[in-house]
A and B are shown apart, each in its own frame.
Chain A
Amino acid sequence: GIQVEQSPPDLILQEGANSTLRCNFSDSVNNLQWFHQNPWGQLINLFYIPSGTKQNGRLSATTVATERYSLLYISSSQTTDSGVYFCAVETGGTSYGKLTFGQGTILTVHP
């Protein structure tokens, strides 16, 4: 099956800093999503981005499908950004929502 690798596994920031999270995947994909799991365990949709670039406030994401990676940018980080960030992909073999999740990046933002 497809392999999804996220880096770094852990990231500690001071409030106001910027960061880049990376997701590498081993096969072509037709679905890629970024999620934030907050400290209460809720899973929050950030981006649906199988290709291209999107921005939403302080967050933006870029997927380069031909090179099999995606990046999540967090600017001016806040303590509420803390949690685990997951990348999830679906390959062309299924095309119906069977996502494979990476192991996540644990982000801690200190005040």
Chain B
Amino acid sequence: NAGVMQNPRHLVRRRGQEARLRCSPMKGHSHVYWYRQLPEEGLKFMVYLQKENIIDESGMPKERFSAEFPKEGPSILRIQQVVRGDSAAYFCASSPRAGNTGELFFGEGSRLTVL
């Protein structure tokens, strides 16, 4: 059962380092979403991507965060110069289509700890 695959499951970084989180959508899904769960907060939308296109990045912090979904390979969420406030669980989701989307399927999350 090839669901949404995220790696690494856990990542520890020191302040100022870079974090890269990867997400492979379910087979046949071409729409990828990243959500963030900060401690003691609910999940919040960050970005929606299709292959080679960022469709909506309204939930992304303006600096240090970027996302891509290349033609080949997984989607990448990149956080440069991490700070302690970036410590959170980052969830990726995928969907087979947009427009009255239907169900989003979530991965198990990547937990980033910034020391």
Q: A35 to B42: give the CA distance in the assembly, Å.
A: 12
Interface size of A in residues (CB-CB distance below 8 Å): 24
Q: A30 to B33: give the CA distance in the assembly, Å.
A: 17
User: Contacts A33-B103, A33-B104; is A98 near B42 (CB within 8 Å)?
Assistant: no
Within 8 A of A (CB), among B80-112: 89, 91, 93, 95, 98-109, 111
The interface residues of chain A lying within 8 Å CB-to-CB of B91 are 43
Q: Which of B14-22, B43-51, B68-76 contacts A (4 or more CB under 8 A)?
A: B43-51
The interface residues of chain A lying within 8 Å CB-to-CB of B107 are 43
The interface residues of chain B lying within 8 Å CB-to-CB of A102 are 42
A residues lining the B interface (CB < 8 Å): 30-31, 33, 35, 41-45, 48, 86, 88, 90, 94-104
B residues lining the A interface (CB < 8 Å): 31, 33, 35, 42-45, 48, 55-56, 89, 91, 93, 95, 98-109, 111
16 CB contacts below 8 A, A to B, read A30-B100, A33-B103, A41-B109, A42-B108, A43-B91, A43-B109, A45-B106, A95-B98, A96-B99, A97-B95, A97-B98, A99-B43, A99-B45, A99-B104, A101-B44, A102-B42
List 5 tightest A-B contacts by C-beta distance, closest first: A48-B103, A96-B98, A101-B42, A43-B106, A101-B43
